[in-house]
Structure 1
């Protein structure tokens, strides 16, 4: 507001939308977005000069650039950054009609650049000062795994927390450690140990999840105590040199016993017993041009944005311009994902609007300086942040609460005192939600069921690979187990989204229940296979049966245009 940057609510929203737990990733994300926005603004200068006299040309540019950047958001590691850049371009093109020709460079391009780059610069500064760096998050995750493993060992392998940690896999932590080593954020010895401990702690967690009869009862209390002791050492930033006491090996042992002992001993090594690397991320998805889902996502979202723009400009109601913004932040690949996100967006919008209306009625009349406004915004965003820190099924509602509140209380270059402006912006959000819903459910709808079957088939194939390994190799094969559990967790999320699809597009309840049953069975088979020296023939036969069943269903229902990754 001090520097008269337009759309202060959108600037605040960008921080809330893009901010993650990892300070290092936040800094890199901010730097990347500033670079992209700067490049786009420079490129837009000649484009605006060419299109300044033609509304049709500007509309075509808006659609084309939105399509390109949304396509990149779906097929490249840029992800949300590319979608935000598409939004910036669209915002610039809409300013051309609202800003006097002689001031397009100042009030148009420069204003759009400030709107995107100012919040990113503040996000970088905040994370540099008080953010939580990657190495701390990785260490905390290792400690969480060790303590959850101790709890699971005591409870015969049953621990909801441990199952949640295993479903996360190792890839995120390994990418964080890659950045830590590249940027030299900690001494080389520390980064070497933390990187190895990511894989070793996952191996410990897998062994701790073994069924109750696969760890000797008289050793459970000892393992649990040792795991908690190691967790305390790691939390205190000490390498557990005496991770496991020297003692006589037991006369009898199980694969789970041996895996726990070996993994705990490995934590005392300089590399923590492993040297894993993250899965390489391609610059462009392998199916970027072969799978129509990427093009369909970019096309439908771009159409929705243009439709919203035409609606609010056609009826000369610029107050509902938030409809176009909604299209860029609410659209996802499949119908179920998009409708669920829209549902959360509506709920968050109503809650945020109610909070904003209450602020306009009872708080704004008593504010006398910018400090009071800052406190008001801080409290509201704190509430929204608390909601957004929850699990994936509710977190987006928190982001939307913040946006709706900011749109109702911040307007122009100062606080808002008019209900008409607040209601216009909320109506704009609801209009955008309606347009997105119609386009994503009525035109080229992408069902979620094939994605479900594909992930279950990936898990079943990985289980077959696991059965072919020797018992000792199965217990230490972190990569395959991580792949199985991550795919099963994704399946669980997709199952919850499937019920958001319109009835005529959704798979039958019987089919969804069958897929949920297969998912639970595969999860149980994985635990059983890892902890057994000899795998019964009926187990391998059942896995083969599940594979054939999924392959047949997948071939019968497969429509290439509707496959989701």
Structure 2
């Protein structure tokens, strides 16, 4: 199977074209961002508030796929920024006449907020909040009197409050409900499964993508649907079961496509695919299929094909119908009070490192343009908060996207200033220009992480060039200085995160691989179908994240990153796990708790295998405790043979054996 573009180190033109291709929901999300940003520019033009470009850019950070989370996040951010601006006003009373104290307050407050960005639930918006605080304190140094300083801080509040209000309005009008998104996602997954069953020889990239992240968001959307009232409790239970069944269907379809001799004959595959398409149409209509009768011709199939057929049939016929006896047991356990901070907030040094590095980069840029007396490049200070990342690998990989996006946005914005803006006679023309530019950059930003950062930077540079005030502006000097500021900010962040204080991505990969092995072990041990399918979805999502991190690891400098052999071993290990996912899932579904399956999985964790051998644990090949027919035995042996064959290709040692003496954590 060809590797998807998101897992290649270097992207060619065909790869970029694939990443820019439409997918379900991309057009709607892009249009909402463009509408909210344009409405923000309209409001700022009506009231003449400063920094309208940054206000429009805030929309990119607070808009979410569904209307409920977008509105809740917007309201929460408004409350938070109001509290923070109040804090800044208090600080301003003591720092207005003391530049050194003001800079010290900027650094302390910035580091605190960035620490919370890394180590708490403030993560989605913390960097924006830190940037607003820095901007507010900076405004204090530009005014001669306390009343004007207060007015400047209120403008800083409006800089965020206006896009928040615009985002709420647009999502109330255009935002899809969480239930609608859940049904659309399940329908998309079913169609891809049907397509793969009809054409097992296809490359399987689309099927692999939905296996990694297709079903995972559904559980969150269903919680939001219950919260907003768009789905009853009974509908949520049924759709949660539908998500679990969809996961089983996708896993069975993956086995049929990828394992030798597992593809179903056309006489079996066609009626199953037709049924899946019909189920997808029901989900598109906002409902969910129940009481499905799947009629298949009788046929003697090889064991693996028989296992695929059985799993598909079981998942389809009980698609949205949970076992009433199992419902009390399959309901998720009461969540622990997680609190605001992460569990490792004060033990993981990564959080404080991130805060100090980003604050250091931002303060360097602040002092740079102050000492140069070049306020036009103040965007370097803002940029540090918007582009800071956790590891050297991410910083290097994203630098190219940032600079490319910045240059594209600057070229487009400058061309608009030269050829389009002079022809505009009203604010309406400027709004149309903003809508088009936002739509194009948001289309990129809504794509894969491999290109999303470019979309953010295109929008940022475009806004800073085109939106120069409440009316069309023509000053190319402003555009030039702002673009220079963006480039300076990007380069400073790059140098700090890769040369001054680098953090390798290897620690994150090692932890994720260990967590992945635990997920597969929990899947095999689970006795209830819903639990197995949830573990499968989590494991495949984690595999996708690790694959992305392994691509990023190649970008790290040799003094920081892992050796190539370590990355290759991790990649082979991940490839083995990807290959056994389908057969392992079918084994766990058909023979839950089988000790032979658990014994095979010990190859993923050599230390546990040695411990089990010393303790006289169950050896591979031990029959399960429950009686089996000859046909069951054949099926089990055939699936175990697929798993064992792949596990034999596993690197002998785990990847956590000192990947690089230079890697820092």
1:520 alignment partner, one of 562, 575, 582:
575
- What displacement does 1:536 show? 7.8
Matched, 1:207 2:252: yes
TM-score, structure 1 normalization: 0.92
Q: 1:361 to 1:216 in 2, by over 3 A?
A: closer
1:481 alignment partner, one of 518, 536, 539:
536
2:235 alignment partner, one of 190, 198, 211:
190
* Contact kept? 2:444, 2:454, Cα under 8 Å: yes
- What displacement does 1:465 show? 4.2
- What displacement does 1:85 show? 1.2
Matched, 1:326 2:370: no
In 2, Cα distance between the equivalents of 1:322 and 1:35? 26
* Alpha-carbon displacement from aligned partner over 1:340-368 (angstroms, at most 9, x marks no partner): 22221111000000001111111111111
- What displacement does 1:82 show? 1.7
- What displacement does 1:7 show? 0.4
* Alpha-carbon displacement from aligned partner over 1:464-498 (angstroms, at most 9, x marks no partner): 4445568xx68971122122211210111111211
- What displacement does 1:205 show? 1.4
What does 1:152-301 correspond to in 2, within 5 Å? Answer: 152-156=196-200, 159-168=204-213, 170-211=215-256, 212=259, 213-214=261-262, 216-217=264-265, 218-245=267-294, 254-269=306-321, 277=332, 283-301=340-358
TM-score, structure 2 normalization: 0.78
Q: 1:475 to 1:37 in 2, by over 3 A?
A: closer
2:656 alignment partner, one of 547, 554, 561:
554
- Cα RMSD for the two superposed structures: 2.9
Q: 1:497 to 1:43 in 2, by over 3 A?
A: same
- What displacement does 1:455 show? 1.7
In 1, Cα distance between the equivalents of 2:393 and 2:578? 24
- What displacement does 1:306 show? 0.7
1:47 alignment partner, one of 91, 98, 102:
91
**Stretch moving more, 62-71 or 102-111:** 102-111
Q: 1:528 to 1:263 in 2, by over 3 A?
A: closer
In 2, Cα distance between the equivalents of 1:377 and 1:547? 58
Secondary structure of the equivalent of 1:556? coil
Match of 2:518 in 1: 461
Q: 1:88 to 1:469 in 2, by over 3 A?
A: closer
Match of 2:64 in 1: 20
- What displacement does 1:152 show? 2.4
Q: Which runs of 5+ in 1 are unaligned?
A: none
1:305 alignment partner, one of 347, 362, 376:
362
Match of 1:428 in 2: 485
Match of 1:103 in 2: 147
- What displacement does 1:513 show? 2.1
Q: 1:219 to 1:246 in 2, by over 3 A?
A: closer
Secondary structure of the equivalent of 1:98? coil
Q: 1:368 to 1:537 in 2, by over 3 A?
A: closer
What does 1:122-137 correspond to in 2, within 5 Å? Answer: 122-137=166-181
In 2, Cα distance between the equivalents of 1:251 and 1:183? 49
In 1, Cα distance between the equivalents of 2:300 and 2:551? 47
Match of 2:648 in 1: none
Q: 1:518 to 1:294 in 2, by over 3 A?
A: same
* Contact kept? 1:196, 1:271, Cα under 8 Å: no
Q: Which runs of 5+ in 2 are unaligned?
A: 1-44, 610-650
In 1, Cα distance between the equivalents of 2:401 and 2:211? 27
In 1, Cα distance between the equivalents of 2:189 and 2:296? 25
- What displacement does 1:522 show? 1.3
Q: 1:427 to 1:248 in 2, by over 3 A?
A: closer
Matched, 1:496 2:541: no
Match of 2:407 in 1: 350
1:86 alignment partner, one of 101, 118, 130:
130
In 2, Cα distance between the equivalents of 1:11 and 1:543? 49
- What displacement does 1:415 show? 2.6
* Contact kept? 2:216, 2:538, Cα under 8 Å: no
